[in-house]
Amino acid sequence: MTTITIANAGRHDGQEVTIRGWLYNLRESGKLLFPIFRDGTGIIQGVCSLKESPDAFNALKGLTQESSVIVTGKIRAEQRAPGGYEIGITGIQVVQKVPEATPFPIQLKEHGVDFLLDQRHLWIRTPRQAAILRIRAQAVKSARDFMDAQGYTLTDAPMFTPAACEGTTTLFEVNYIDDQKAFLTQSGQLYIEATAMALGKVYTFGPTFRAEKSKTRRHLTEFWMLEPEAAYAGLDDMMELGEGLVSAIVQGVVKHRSRELETLKRDVKKLENIKAPFPRITYEEAVAVLQKNGNPTKFGDDFGGDEETVISRSFDRPVMVHHYPSAIKAFYMQPDAQRPDLALSFDMLAPEGYGEIIGGSQRIHDFDLLVQRLKQNNLPEEAFQWYLDLRRYGSVPHAGFGLGLERTVAWICGTEHIREVIPFPRMLYRVYP
């Protein structure tokens, strides 16, 4: 007997097959049972009759939700069934029966979010959560395929670091071996600046950590970031790379995960539209947009979530805001030659209120200016000696950015909060399960 996956059931129309999975739901109607099975690739409805398959009927009757089962039966087209096929059951092998005394905690009804987050290890079994995780995986694949095709080499940055990259207020300190101090990385940027000087065009893609005290729908304490870095590159090169990357991710998901987007009831038209080039406006133009909308922001203020939402509302695709004031940006950003109070920086803001998905800039390549910025930011020069070496030995203009995976996937999926798009979210008050 051929073992198949539910996603491929349509290729076996009329055949007797085996499906290995779990009982998702069971409707009983006299001498007929209508179970729904899931196997991780999809769900399929089954029909089991007492008259035709008494053994299977008795094994299935009263079986508890999420019991693991191996099902045999005949696949047949059924227009009304989810997925378009159903299985006429002839055999059931129960691998483990969920005890009646301890039923699966997540029923097919609405539950509160805190409850679901406590049950995250089980919540991911539900079709909506599984669809989101599959879209996340596709986003990663499309992103990496794009970067590789652009000639960027993956060079992984370390998680343990001796110093801050994105400000000292959101650092996680770790007790490293023998009382040495270390921090969890906030960004792999400083390290890929080094690998960029070695290989030219590089990227890193891994977890990053921020001890953010922010309790918003856009913040995690552990999130994944894809960061490209290129030698002999500037701000415009990175804006072009950023819009290409985001277009490739969105179009990859639209192409390969349409079924999952449908499960999420996502408006795919809005995503199909996401193609480079993206609009670009300066920080000063963005401030003007805000003021026109009655927002009190003035030159020199940073944008919060509300401001980002107002700015992005005028566009049907992500917008890139560039040339922020240096004073509100990170220590390493190269000042504009004509306007030294502005940094050669950009943020990409996603549509539909999802906020900043990319932050990037050209980096300071001048030794003296970088030392001055370290001092101004009270950063320990000792810990940055290796970073200063990059300005001692063949320094060149270079640039890069960081794309937040979860914010990007949350926007693509249209989820309310980014906690749903990572298998096990880490947030202000949550490190369980």
Question: In the complex, which residues of this chain contact ligand 4AD (CB under 6 A)?
Answer: 165-166, 187, 189, 210, 212, 219-220, 223, 225, 227, 356-360, 400-402, 404, 406-407
166 binds, among Mg ion, ligand 4AD, none (CB under 5 to 8 A by kind): ligand 4AD
- Residue placing its CB nearer to ligand 4AD in the complex, 67 or 247: 247
Q: Which does 165 bind (CB under 5 to 8 A by kind): ligand 4AD, Mg ion, none?
A: ligand 4AD
Least distance (Å) between residue 5 CB and ligand 4AD:
33
Among 318, 359, 397, 425, which residue interacts with Mg ion (rule: CB under 5 A)?
359
Closest residue to Mg ion: CB criterion: 359
User: Which DSSP letter does residue 90 get?
Assistant: E
Site residues (CB under 5 A) for Mg ion, limited to 279-308: none
Q: Give the closest residue to 33 by CA, choosing from 12, 55, 18.
A: 55
Distance from first CA to last CA of the chain, Å, rounded? 38
Residue (of 168, 172, 192) closest to 183 by Cα position:
172
Burial category of 213 from C-beta neighbours within 10 Å (exposed 0-12, middle 13-18, buried 19 and up): exposed
Is residue 402 part of the contact set for Mg ion (CB under 5 A)?
A: no
**Which C-beta is closer to Mg ion: that of 67 or that of 186?**
186
Closest to Mg ion by CB, 57 vs 303, is 303
User: Is the Cβ–Cβ distance between 22 and 69 less than 8 Å?
Assistant: yes
- Say which entry of Mg ion, ligand 4AD, none residue 400 contacts (CB below 5 to 8 A, set by partner kind): ligand 4AD
Handedness of CA 223, 226, 231, 233 (dihedral sign): negative
User: Which one of Mg ion, ligand 4AD, none interacts with residue 297, CB within 5 to 8 A by kind?
Assistant: none
Size of the site for Mg ion (CB under 5 A): 1
Question: Binds 66, which of Mg ion, ligand 4AD, none (CB < 5 to 8 A, cut-off by type)?
Answer: none
Q: CA-to-CA distance for 243 and 319, rounded, in angstroms?
A: 9
Stretches 56-64, 268-276, 281-289, 352-360: which one binds Mg ion (CB under 5 A)?
Answer: 352-360
How far apart are alpha carbons 227 and 235 in whole angstroms? Answer: 14
Chosen from ligand 4AD, Mg ion, none, partner binding at 225 (C-beta under 5 to 8 Å by type): ligand 4AD
Minimum CB separation of residue 359 from Mg ion in Å reads 3
What single-letter DSSP state applies at residue 318? Answer: -
Q: Reduce the DSSP state of residue 21 to 3 states and report it.
A: strand
Asked whether the beta carbons of 208 and 187 are under 8 A apart, the reply is yes
Cβ closer to ligand 4AD: 73 or 228?
Answer: 228
Which of Mg ion, ligand 4AD, none lies near 9, with the C-beta cut-off 5 to 8 A by kind?
A: none
The single-letter DSSP state of residue 365 is -
Nearest residue to 238 via CA among 254, 226, 253: 226
Interatomic CA distance for residues 184 and 16, integer angstroms = 53
CA angle 132, 136, 139 (to 5 degrees): 135
CB of 189 to ligand 4AD, least distance (A): 4
Cβ contacts of 96 within 8 Å, gap of 6 or more: 67, 68
Residue number with CB closer to Mg ion (335 or 359): 359
Buried b (16+ CB within 10 A) or exposed e, 376-395: eeebeeeebeebeebbeeeb
Q: Mapping DSSP to helix (H, G, I), strand (E, B) and coil, where does residue 237 land?
A: helix
3-class secondary structure, 281: strand
Measured between alpha carbons, how far is 119 from 316 in angstroms, rounded to an integer? Answer: 36
Minimal distance in Å, beta carbon 378 to ligand 4AD? 18
Supply 88's token pair: 């006429």
Question: Smallest distance, Å, CB 330 to ligand 4AD?
Answer: 7
Residue 342's identity, in one-letter code, is: L
Residue 39 or 166 with smaller CB distance to Mg ion = 166
State the binding partner of 301 from Mg ion, ligand 4AD, none, CB within 5 to 8 A by kind. Answer: none
Which of 359/425 has CB closer to Mg ion? 359
Q: Measured from the CB atom, is 6 or 321 closer to ligand 4AD?
A: 321
Residue 8 or 168: the one with the smaller Cβ distance to Mg ion is: 168
Based on CB atoms, which residue is closest to ligand 4AD, 35 or 242?
242
Minimum Å gap between C-beta 302 and ligand 4AD is 11
* Residues at the interface with Mg ion (CB under 5 A): 359
